[in-house]
Amino acid sequence: MSTFYVIAFLSIVFSLLVIFAKNPVHSVLYLILTFFTFTIHYILLNAQFLAVVNFIVYMGAIMVLFLFVMMLLNLNKDTEPGKHNLAKLAGVIAGGCLLVVIAGSLKALGKSEPVVLQNPDLGLVKNLGKVLFGEFLLPFEVSSVLLLSAMVGAVLLAKKEPRTV
C-alpha cells in the first residue's frame, strides 16, 4: 500500500511539473516521467501487458514523436506567447466547470468495499493471448487487413512521383 501512495504522489508532482515547466522540452521530459509512474501503477495492479505496452508505446514511440515535432518546429524557447484575455477567460470557465463536475461526483462518492479480483492472474500476458487467439481470433485476423491497407497507403502517399503533375 505504501508503494502506491509514493507512486501516486510522484505521478501528481510530475504531471504538475508538466504544466508548470516553462521550457517545452522539459515539459515533455516530465511527461515521460509521469508515464513511467503510470507503468508502475499497472504493475501494482498486476496488469503486465498494459504495463509493457504503456512502457514501449507511450514512453518510447509517442514521446519521441513529441520531441521530434518540437525539434522540427523549433519550439524549444523558454517564453511562451502571452495568451489573449478572452482565451484566459474561456480557460477559467472551462476549468471551473471541470471543478464543479469533480466536486459533484466526489459528493456522490461512497466508500466501496475493496474489489477483490476473482482471478489474480487476469492481467497476465498468457491469459490475454488465450482470449485473443480464442474468442477474438476473427477480429485479430481482420485487423491485418487494416494494417496492410494503412501500409500500402503510407507508401503510396510518401513515394515520390517521377513526373510533376
Partner 1 sequence: MNTLILISVLPILLLYLGVFKAKNALLPVTVIGLLAAAGLAIAGWNANATPIYHDMVLFDRFSIAFSVITILSTVLILLLSKDYFEKISSHVAEYYAVMLFSLAGIICMVSYYNLTMLFIGIEIMSVSLYILAGIKKRDFASNEASLKYFLMGAFSTGFLLFGIALIYGATGSFSISVIRDWILTHPRGIDPLFHTGVLLIIVGLCFKLGAAPFHFWTPDVYEGSPSLITAFMSTVVKTAGIAAFLRLFQSAFSTISDFWMPVLLVITVLTLFIGNITALYQQSFKRMLAFSSISHAGYLLFAVVALGAASANSVLIYAAAYSIASIIAFGVLILVQQQADSDHFSSFNGLGKSNPFLAFVLTVAMLSLAGIPLTAGFIGKFYMFTGALSRLQVWLVIIAVVNAIISIYYYFKVIVAMYFRGGEERTVLAVPGYFVFVLGLSALLTIVLGVYPTLIADINF
Residues at the interface with partner 1 (CB under 8 A)? 134-139, 142-143, 145-146, 148-150, 152-157, 159, 161-162, 164-165
With both helix axes pointing from N to C terminus, report the angle between 24-44 and 63-73 in degrees, rounded to the nearest 10: 180
- Residues 7 and 15: their CA atoms lie apart, in Å, by 12
Residue number, 1 or 108, with CB nearest to partner 1: 108
Which CB atom, from 116 or from 142, has the smaller least distance to partner 1?
Answer: 142
- Least gap, CB of 146 to partner 1 (angstroms): 5
In the complex with partner 1, the residue whose CB is nearer, 12 or 137, is: 137
CB of 67 to partner 1, least distance (A): 22
Kindly tell me which of 82 and 162 has the beta carbon lying closer to partner 1. 162
Question: What's the CA gap between 145 and 151, in Å, rounded?
Answer: 10
Q: How far is the CB of 82 from partner 1 (least distance, A)?
A: 27
Q: Cα–Cα distances in Å, from 109 out to 103, 104, 114, 115? A: 10, 9, 14, 15
**3-state helix, strand and coil shares in percent for the chain, rounded to the nearest 5:** 75, 0, 25
For residues 30 and 12, what is the distance between their CA atoms, to the nearest angstrom? 11
CB of 152 to partner 1, least distance (A): 6
Supply the minimum distance, in Å, between the C-beta of residue 70 and partner 1: 20
> Is the CB of residue 63 less than 8 Å from the CB of residue 18?
no
The number of residues in the chain equals 165
Residue closer to partner 1 (CB basis): 80 or 141: 141
